[in-house]
C-alpha cells in the first residue's frame, strides 16, 4: 500500500518516528494489516529485523443455493 493509503486508515496504531522518516507514515505493519481487511488482533511485534501485525477478517458463510 502507498503511504497515502495507509495514512487514510483510521484507528489507534503504535507510532514510530523512525518508520515515519523512512516511509512517510507513522506505522506500516498495523495499518497494512487493517487495510488488508479485518480487525487488528495482534499489535506490532518486532524481532530479528522484522515487524509484523495480524488482522482477522470476519468469516461469512453463505448457504445461498443449498437446499434445506
Q: How confident is the model at residue 59 (pLDDT cuts 50, 70, 90)?
A: confident
pLDDT on residue 25:
97
Task: Report which of 63, 64, 27 is spatially closest to residue 45, judged by C-alpha positions.
Answer: 27
Q: How confident is the model at residue 66 (pLDDT cuts 50, 70, 90)?
A: low
The per-residue pLDDT for 43 is 97
Over residues 6-44, the pLDDT tens digits come to: 999 999 999 999 999 999 999 999 999 999 988 999 999
How far, in Å, CA of 67 to CA of 46, rounded? 48
Q: What's the average model confidence in pLDDT over 47-60?
A: 93
Decide if pLDDT at 62 tops 80.
Answer: yes
Amino acid at each position: 500500500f502507498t503511504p497515502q493509503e495507509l495514512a487514510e486508515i483510521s484507528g489507534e496504531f503504535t507510532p514510530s518516528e523512525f518508520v515515519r522518516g523512512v516511509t512517510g507514515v507513522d506505522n506500516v505493519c498495523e495499518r497494512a494489516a487493517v487495510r488488508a481487511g479485518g480487525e487488528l488482533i495482534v499489535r506490532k511485534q518486532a524481532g530479528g529485523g522484522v515487524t509484523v501485525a495480524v488482522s482477522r477478517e470476519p468469516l461469512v458463510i453463505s448457504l445461498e443455493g443449498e437446499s434445506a
